[in-house]
Each structure stands twice: as C-alpha cells, then as structure tokens.
Amino acid sequence: MLRTTIIATLVAACLASGPARAADAAGEVSHRKGEATGTIEGASMPLETGNPVVLNEALATGAAARLEITFLDTTRLTLGERANVTIDKFVYDGSHTRVLRLAAVGALRFISGGNKPAGAEVTVTTPVVEIGVRGTDFWFGPIDGEFGVLLVAGAVTVSNSAGSVVLDQPGQGTNIAGPGAAPGPVTQWPQQKVDRALVQVAF
C-alpha cells in the first residue's frame, strides 16, 4: 500500500508539472520469488506481485531471487539473482511500444510482447554490450567466466565500440570477455550450456 501511494504521488506530481512524466507506469510485477526491491528517487521499497513499475525505477533482486516484470505491451523481463535493471525510457501509444530502453546488470531473459511497429526502438544496455531487439526471446548474463547472449527466438544485434554480431537462429550465442572486448564469434550453443543459462532465470 505504501509503495502504491508513493508511486501515485510521484505520478500526480509529474502530471502537474506538464510534459515531464518521470514516473509513468510501464508495467507491473507479475511474478516474484525471494527478495526484490524497487528504488524510486532514492527510496527503496520491497516489491510484491501486482506492484506497478515505473519509468526510471531501479529494480533489483537478492540472493536466489527471481523477479518477472510484464510491461503494458505484454513484454516480459525476468531477472535472476543479484540482478538489476532500470527502465530508462518507455514510449507506449496504447497499442504498440515505440521505444523501450533498459539498462541491466546480471542474468536476465527478455521475451518481447505484442507487435512492434516498423521503426520501434527496443534496446538493452549492459556493462559490456548493447543489445538491439527485433521482436524476440533472448537471455543474457554471466556464464563460464564471460558475458554471454543467447537467442531463443527472433533476432538480436549485439554490439559495442569494438564490434557487432547478429544472432538470428535459435540457439545461437556469443560471448564477450569483458568491457572493451568485441563480441565473440556466433556459435550454436550446446544444450548443456543453454540449460545452464536459462536455469539462472527460471522460477
């Protein structure tokens, strides 16, 4: 109740200030296991299923925790343990998402929802690469001492200042050794590695 009241107050304040809507609702918590928090303007609160999530909110999970967010367009984002994500920008016209930008750390799975119109911009920024999304299902996070990106369905572009690769076949993945390193060759990940990746975000 306290969290809902705080969010409602922030939304009302933003609406009163004109076009700036820093606290617009982007979706809600659809599933949670273990400790998860949301931080808005420096105030951290526990997250529960059904809580709204808002623009510029920092979401984080604790040890052995999981958190699933469902956006207004039915896109689902699942955080593994000790992961965090910030909703940097979300533009939704009531039927389509025009822009979705996330900043993320840790193991996460992104499953795109709804039909994205031509020109829609959906990106996820991590400490080592930016992932451009084209209506898809993919996982990313730490694995085997590196940072990996695994495509489950659809297509993604994985890029940074050192290089870029495209994953466009289910089961393809790329590894990045660390910040400043180019994405490695695109390979078909063995099922055992796929399983180890996806279990990090499984409830």
Please count the other Cβ atoms lying within 10 Å of the Cβ belonging to residue 132: 17
Residue pLDDT tens, the chain, 203 long: 444 444 443 343 333 333 333 347 899 999 999 999 999 999 999 999 999 999 999 999 999 999 999 999 999 999 999 999 999 999 988 878 889 999 999 999 999 987 676 778 999 999 999 999 987 999 999 999 999 999 999 999 999 999 999 999 999 999 999 999 999 999 999 999 999 999 999 99
Decide: 138 and 110 in contact? Cβ < 8 Å: yes
User: Which pLDDT score, from 0 to 100, does residue 95 have?
Assistant: 79
For position 71, what pLDDT does the model report? Answer: 95
* pLDDT value, residue 22: 38
CA distances from 32 to 17, 40, 59, 99, 120 (A): 33, 19, 12, 25, 29
Q: How many CA atoms lie within 13 A of 156 on its CB side?
A: 33
Class of residue 144 by CB neighbours under 10 A (exposed 0-12, middle 13-18, buried 19+): exposed
In this prediction, residue 115 carries a pLDDT of 67
Q: Which residues of 85-119 are buried (b: 16+ CB within 10 A; e: fewer)?
A: bbbeebebeeeebbebbbbbbbbbbbbbbbebeee
